[in-house]
Homo-oligomer: A and B are copies of this chain.
Amino acid sequence: MEGLIMSLEIKALYKNFDKISLFSDFNISFQEGTITCILGPSGCGKTTLLNIMGGIIKPDSGQLSGFNEKSISYIFQDPRLLPWKTVEENIEFVLKRDIPAEQRHKVTGQLIRLMELEDFAGYYPSRLSGGMRQRVSIARAFAYPSDVILMDEPLKGLDIKLKLNLVRVFSRMWQADKRTVIFVTHDVDEALLLGSDVIVLSRPPAKILLNRQIDLPFENRSPDSGSLKEMKDSLIDALGN
């Protein structure tokens, strides 16, 4: 693995907010075509890191390589839906206008079905439940054609059945195109079910406390048994610090 080109890389990252030094000489790299899960205490800078990778926040200093050329989808931590657009329109909003309308419509329709929102395609966000809004936000990110997907707690607020369903759907989708995924979560099980790499960050200034690879195929993963159980314990242990 070491020999591969690390195409997404952040080097010597510095970022302060007021008195807080979030990143100070922070280095991290992501292998293309893998799913990297990032865990870490609330407020440690996970969202900030995604925002820096997405170009939304400027770092104080540091080199980012590989992000510029890529097209990126982002499931933001909050759904960020346009209140005046229906579920369908919100998803369709991010699709380029050079895609023919019926194509756009098809993509949108598929994702709406995937998210089990068929009955709500014409609803405005103010009339959706919390979990439904989150699903629209996921659908929007999936609809946008991209090389990299950033996801900030994408599965929060969803019931367990939907969550497992989405994990299944997502791993199937990922197997088809092997996009690079960077996935922030607080749920250790989610990380173990989906991650190719799992990274645990410390409180600020961020350090990488743990970086583990998982080579098992998705189908064989069960967080509460076998080798994953051991990994889960060490993740929880790292997060406990």
Residues in B whose Cβ lies below 8 Å from that of A42: 129-132, 135, 157-159, 162
By beta carbon, the residue of chain B nearest A131 is B42
B131 and A161 within 8 A (CB): no
Q: Tell me if A127 counts as interface (CB < 8 A to partner B).
A: yes
Compute how far the CA of A162 lies from the CA of B43 in the bound complex, rounded to whole angstroms. Answer: 11
Q: Which residue of B157, B159, B236 is within 8 Å of A160 (Cβ)?
A: B236
Chain A 141-182 interface residues, beta-carbon cutoff 8 Å to B: 152-153, 156-163
Residues in B whose Cβ lies below 8 Å from that of A18: 127
Residues in B whose Cβ lies below 8 Å from that of A239: 159-161
Chain A 177-196 interface residues, beta-carbon cutoff 8 Å to B: 186-188
Q: Which residue of B47, B157, B161, B224 is within 8 Å of A156 (Cβ)?
A: B157
Compute how far the CA of A128 lies from the CA of B45 in the bound complex, rounded to whole angstroms. Answer: 10
Q: How many copies does the complex hold?
A: 2
**CB proximity of A64 to chain B, nearest CB, Å:** 21
Q: Number of A residues contacting the other chain (C-beta, 8 Å)?
A: 38
Q: Tell me if A39 counts as interface (CB < 8 A to partner B).
A: yes
Chain A 56-97 interface residues, beta-carbon cutoff 8 Å to B: 77-78
Q: Which residue of B41, B159, B187 is within 8 Å of A162 (Cβ)?
A: B41
Q: Mark A110-131, 1 if CB is under 8 A from B, else 0.
A: 0000000001100000011111
Residues in B whose Cβ lies below 8 Å from that of A240: 160-161
Compute how far the CA of A34 lies from the CA of B123 in the bound complex, rounded to whole angstroms. Answer: 37
Q: Which of A129, A131, A159, A163 has the most CB of B within 10 A?
A: A159
Q: Tell me if A40 counts as interface (CB < 8 A to partner B).
A: yes
**CB proximity of A153 to chain B, nearest CB, Å:** 6
Instruction: Identify 8 residue pairs between A and B in the complex whose beta-carbon atoms are under 8 Å apart, listed by A's number.
Output: A17-B127, A18-B127, A42-B130, A42-B157, A42-B158, A153-B157, A156-B157, A160-B240
